[in-house]
Amino acid sequence: MRPAVRSAIGGMNRGILRCASLLVPRDQRADWRREWNAELWHMRRACQPRGGSGWKAERAATAFCLGAFQDAFCVRGIRGQNWEIAPSQHGSARECLFWLAGVLALSCILARVLPGVFVESHPSHYQVNPGLVLLQRDLFTDSSAATISGQQFLDLKASRQRGIDGLAFYRMTKETLSPGLHAKPKWAVAHASFNLFALLGGTRSFAALPTETPGGLPPVVLSDELWKRDFKGNPRIIGSVVHVGRMAARVFGVLPRGSWRLPGGADAWLLQPDTEISRSAVGYVVAHITRFGQAEMYNDRLHINAFVADDPDADLWGVSFDERTRGPWTIFRFAVFLAFFALPAITSVSLGESCFSSHRPSLMTNLSRWIFLSAKIVLLLSIAYFASLDLSYWNATGYSALSEYAQLASTFFICLFGMRWILLDQRERCPVCLRRVTHPAQVGQASRTFLAWNGTELMCTSGHTLLHVPGLPTSWFGTQRWMYLDTSWKFLFAGTGVG
């Protein structure tokens, strides 16, 4: 470590001690500060490696200095005779559940505040009619890429297709969109066939959208983001005339945030009759497949032998919308399944129930233990659901494949390591009072494992049990064991004392 850094950390530590000393009553302040400074000097000297200094020593010194605040608060409490540690709560089952519930509440609040999470966790906003597929020319093409021209769409629509009973087309352009003709930032505008929203239908988001041209002007639908940004959220915009590029159109509605899940990320949708569809422009085709077609789907894909008079090789692939509209719950369930499946690979799933004697806790004690374990698992799964959504959609305003992968990964890891912690925690809780056993004491020596016993003993501070954990698992002592203390031990642990 550089001397300058070391000096800076030293200065910081002295500052911490000085701040802490301000909390101590004035008449004791000098004495406390003197003791802290003296001990800090000796501590650094003891912790530092010979001939230099290390981060470990500085970290220990800073931890020591931060502990001074606790000393100071305690000193004030002692003077007022009202400060006591609450030993009954420390490490108790109630404390554990309280912390888990706190984390859950925090992740729920975040989920409520983050717009991406809010949209994602309300699937009713983006549900579409069942049996919809996105047509593409090649099975291996990215489904977010446009592959079908306007002419091909019209050819498909003009001839009866086996297994398809509805087709709609849209293509993406970058155009200005404003009440006047003056320049504005360009937005992603989808030029869509009239029946697009009718075909998607199914949800309240799309139900009220037009299928016919009103008053000669083509209808345009704005996204929530565009409406709020360029039109300041003005509710009177509905029915007014705007210009999409140089074309006048009438605003017909605003699509709620997160409703649009198709490729292209449109900010506005200009609905046009098929006669005005550009023949050469490449876009996307949405198709509704019949029950017969749905029966032929395999792995959310459908091979369609399209009948186009001028193009006998116009085979198409239909990709189901299910991937885009399945919502977070399906991914969550899959990730939880994977995590539980992988759990035995990283920890033992045993709860360490064996004990030295034939003593068995009462049915109620056993029941409360299982209720506590179940409560922890339920809280963990709830945390995993909301926290994974918070992490995945932290910076996203809506659906993205990357966010789905992030949700899958974060749910998996939270569940996997959370379950590992739950099992480890459960193993170290007294079966009687569910408080964590403490004060580990090393017993025996490793060299005497085969003649005697070597391991760690932990005790329940309420005096119910001792936990014996073998240092080196053997065939006769492979897992931890509980020793239930009988009533003759109780007086040793009864009551709370000083310190």
Partner 1 sequence: MASEPKLSHTAAMILQAISTGCVYGFSIMEMTGLPSGTVYPAMRRLERDELIGSRWERQSIADAEQRPARKYYKLTAAGRVTLEASRKRYPLLERMIPSPEARSV
Using an 8 Å Cβ cutoff, are 20 and 36 in contact? yes
For partner 1, the closer of residues 20 and 221 by Cβ is 20
Binders of partner 1: how many residues, by CB under 8 A? 38
DSSP per residue, 409-459: HHHHHHHHHHHHHHHHHHHTB-TTT-PBPEEEEEES-GGGTTTS--EEEEE
Q: Where are the beta strands (DSSP E) in 224-374?
A: 241-244, 247-255, 268-272, 282-289, 301-305, 315-320
Does position 39 interact with partner 1 (CB under 8 A)? The reply is yes
Encoded tokens for 30:
């000098």
Q: Which span (97-105, 124-132, 347-355, 489-497) binds partner 1, by CB under 8 A?
A: 489-497
Does position 109 interact with partner 1 (CB under 8 A)? The reply is no
Cβ neighbour number for residue 238 with a 10 Å cutoff: 13
Q: How far is the CB of 433 from partner 1 (least distance, A)?
A: 15
Q: How far is the CB of 401 from partner 1 (least distance, A)?
A: 47
Binding mask 434-473 for partner 1 (x = CB under 8 A): ----xx-x-x-------------x-x-x------------
Q: Where are the alpha helices (DSSP H) in 114-215?
A: 115-120, 150-158, 196-200, 204-207
Q: How far is the CB of 69 from partner 1 (least distance, A)?
A: 7
Does position 138 interact with partner 1 (CB under 8 A)? The reply is no
Q: Tell me the CA distances in angstroms from 385 to 64, 126, 299, 311, 331, one per residue in order.
A: 38, 19, 26, 49, 10
Residue 262's nearest CA partner among 197, 356, 166, 165 is 197
Does position 35 interact with partner 1 (CB under 8 A)? The reply is yes
Q: How far is the CB of 145 from partner 1 (least distance, A)?
A: 59
Residue 489's nearest CA partner among 450, 459, 457, 456 is 459
Sort strands 219-223 and 268-272 into parallel, antiparallel or unpaired: antiparallel
Identified binder of partner 1 from the candidate list 74, 103, 377, 409, rule CB under 8 A: 74
Does position 314 interact with partner 1 (CB under 8 A)? The reply is no
Q: How far is the CB of 371 from partner 1 (least distance, A)?
A: 28
Q: How far apart are CA 177 and CA 254, in angstroms?
A: 14
Does position 70 interact with partner 1 (CB under 8 A)? The reply is yes
Does position 87 interact with partner 1 (CB under 8 A)? The reply is yes
Identified binder of partner 1 from the candidate list 1, 30, 63, 109, rule CB under 8 A: 63
Please enumerate in sequence order all residues whose Cβ is within 8 A of that of 280, keeping only pairs 6 or more positions apart, or say none. Answer: 149, 150, 151
Q: How far is the CB of 454 from partner 1 (least distance, A)?
A: 13
For partner 1, the closer of residues 336 and 458 by Cβ is 458
Q: How far is the CB of 430 from partner 1 (least distance, A)?
A: 14
Q: What is the footprint of partner 1 within residues 418-437 (CB under 8 A)?
A: none
Identified binder of partner 1 from the candidate list 16, 48, 64, 427, rule CB under 8 A: 64
Q: How far is the CB of 232 from partner 1 (least distance, A)?
A: 54
For partner 1, the closer of residues 203 and 438 by Cβ is 438
Q: Which residue is it, tokens 């894909």?
A: 301
Does position 498 interact with partner 1 (CB under 8 A)? The reply is yes
For partner 1, the closer of residues 90 and 204 by Cβ is 90
For partner 1, the closer of residues 68 and 167 by Cβ is 68
Does position 86 interact with partner 1 (CB under 8 A)? The reply is no
Does position 496 interact with partner 1 (CB under 8 A)? The reply is yes
Sort strands 438-443 and 164-178 into parallel, antiparallel or unpaired: unpaired
Which helix H or strand E contains 223, and what residues bound it?
A: strand 219-223
Identified binder of partner 1 from the candidate list 37, 129, 151, 294, rule CB under 8 A: 37
Q: How far is the CB of 51 from partner 1 (least distance, A)?
A: 18
Q: Which span (6-14, 68-76, 163-171, 328-336) binds partner 1, by CB under 8 A?
A: 68-76
Does position 66 interact with partner 1 (CB under 8 A)? The reply is yes
Encoded tokens for 144:
């977010």
Q: How far is the CB of 497 from partner 1 (least distance, A)?
A: 4
Encoded tokens for 434:
């569910």
Q: Which span (161-169, 225-233, 372-380, 487-495) binds partner 1, by CB under 8 A?
A: 487-495
Q: Which span (72-80, 273-281, 306-314, 357-365) binds partner 1, by CB under 8 A?
A: 72-80
Q: How far apart are CA 148 and CA 13, in angstroms?
A: 68
Using an 8 Å Cβ cutoff, are 242 and 253 in contact? no
Using an 8 Å Cβ cutoff, are 371 and 88 in contact? no
CA dihedral of 95, 98, 104, 109, whole degrees rounded to 10: -130
Identified binder of partner 1 from the candidate list 5, 22, 30, 41, rule CB under 8 A: 41
Three-state secondary structure call for residue 199 = helix
Identified binder of partner 1 from the candidate list 75, 148, 387, 469, rule CB under 8 A: 75
Identified binder of partner 1 from the candidate list 11, 15, 67, 478, rule CB under 8 A: 67
Q: What angle, 0 to 180 degrees and rounded to 10, lies between the N-to-C axes of helices 363-392 and 93-113? A: 20
Q: Where are the beta strands (DSSP E) in 70-163?
A: 132-136, 148-149
Q: Which residues bind partner 1 (CB under 8 A)?
A: 34-35, 37-39, 41-43, 45-46, 63-64, 66-71, 74-75, 78, 85, 87, 438-439, 441, 443, 457, 459, 461, 492-499
